Amino acid sequence: MDTRFYQKAGNDFESLSFMDLLEARDLYHVHLMNYPNVVATAIGRYRIRSEDSWPEPDGTVKHKGTGPRTLSNSEVRPYSWPAILVFVDTWLELDEFGEGKPYDPSEMVPRTLFLPNGRKIPVCVILVQKVAQRPATPKIEFPLNNIGGGNPIIANVQGQKHVATLACLVTDGHRTYALTNRHVAGDPGEVMYSRLSGNEEPVGWSSGKQLTRLPFSSVYKDCPGRDVYLNLDAGLIDIENLDRWTAQVHGLGTLAPMADLPPSQMKLSLVGSRVAGFGAASGRMDGEITALLYRYKSVGGFEYLADFLIGPRTGGDLGKKGHPQPELLTRPGDSGTLWVFDPTHAPNQVQDGKARPGYRPFALQWGAELFGGGDTSYVLATALSTICNHLARPSHF
């Protein structure tokens, strides 16, 4: 679909790049966070309310929804233009701003940001209500024999058992390791357990090769980002007996090659991509990339980012009016889940009658945000290629 007809004259939004949005967000983030009710920002594409009618050939829209725009009642459509996403915990209508009204007009989140070169950056305001209560974890299923990605791993910490998820097997060319989160693997030498054939037994120990956070500028080189950390949260488990392990990921099978996503070449086209993961607690999870570089907290004057915010799938086939998809709910125990691009929803994957490629891993889950009534969660994840690149450096190996 040609996106230009849906834009007003003078707004060449579709030509905006990932770097344009990153520059605008960096310039305005502190300013935006000072507005009442703003809780986070991200980079993505403008989300259209699902009830909005699709544009006519002349660009008119016969029906436009009103009221709060949320992640659950909006979607990314083919004509969604690049935008800065601003998340608020309270939705305010236009008639609440003005003289004699509860809010001064200066407190309204701007609809457009301006770069020094005069380029206009649209802003999409989204209502989110964070929920502290975590969903219950169902009974965890352990493998009978071999263990691998998607299976549970047990960490014994201060007399308590914590269950998380193994992502996949990785190698440095000499030894093979199991990848999970650093907050799961723990300190070097900590023994990790699982249940095989009903018996809890050691399967490896924390190798000490791990990543916590890195300055944003050391990962996204030459990209604007002051006083910002990128959370990675990755750790390796040194395997005790490789014969007890499988390279397949439970629920996904044999994986295709890893998706290489160089930070300097991150693309807005990733937003809306259909993805999947298999967590030890939740099993198969289907979602889509909701936004990039989600700023989820601020501590001591430093901001913290997640490469990906992954949420429920929205919309139907491209070119058709969308409808809500089943909710995504990730639970405690899914930390360490490997996320992959879902080839069954990837366009242009069948060529010359050849079969589609398999699942391409691209991210490692380490956290989640609960929005709304607690029945929908959004995964926080780090690019897998970034993790592998930094773990392979001499300072970590």
Query: Rounded to an integer, what distance in angstroms lies between the CA atom of residue 5 and that of residue 3?
Result: 6
Token pair recorded at residue 36: 């009442």
Whether the model clears a pTM of 0.75, i.e. scores above it, the answer is yes
Angle at the Cα of 250 from the Cα atoms of 350 and 397, rounded to 5 degrees: 95
* Cβ–Cβ < 8 Å for 181, 381: no
Chain-centroid distance of CA 228 in Å reads 17
Contact 41, 113 (CB under 8 A): no
Please list the pLDDT of the chain residue by residue as tens digits (397 residues).
344 444 454 556 778 889 999 999 999 888 888 888 899 999 999 999 998 888 877 667 777 878 899 998 899 998 899 999 999 999 988 888 888 888 888 888 999 999 998 889 999 999 988 776 667 777 888 888 889 999 999 998 888 888 999 999 999 888 999 999 999 999 999 999 999 888 899 999 999 899 999 999 899 988 877 789 999 999 999 998 899 999 999 989 889 999 999 887 888 999 999 999 999 999 999 999 999 999 988 777 788 999 999 999 987 543 344 444 557 888 889 999 999 999 876 544 444 444 456 899 999 999 998 876 556 789 999 999 999 999 976 544 3
Residue-level pLDDT at 326? 56
33 sits in which H/E element = helix 18-33
Identify whether the C-beta of residue 7 lies closer than 8 Å to the C-beta of residue 81: yes
Alpha-carbon distances, residue 301 vs 25, 30, 220, 317, 326 (angstroms): 16, 10, 20, 43, 38
Decide if 188 contacts 182 (C-beta within 8 A): no
Domains of the chain: 4-127 (no CATH), 147-391 (2.40.10.10)
Residue 196 and residue 281: Cα distance in Å, rounded? 17
Q: How many CB atoms lie within 10 A of CB 177?
A: 20
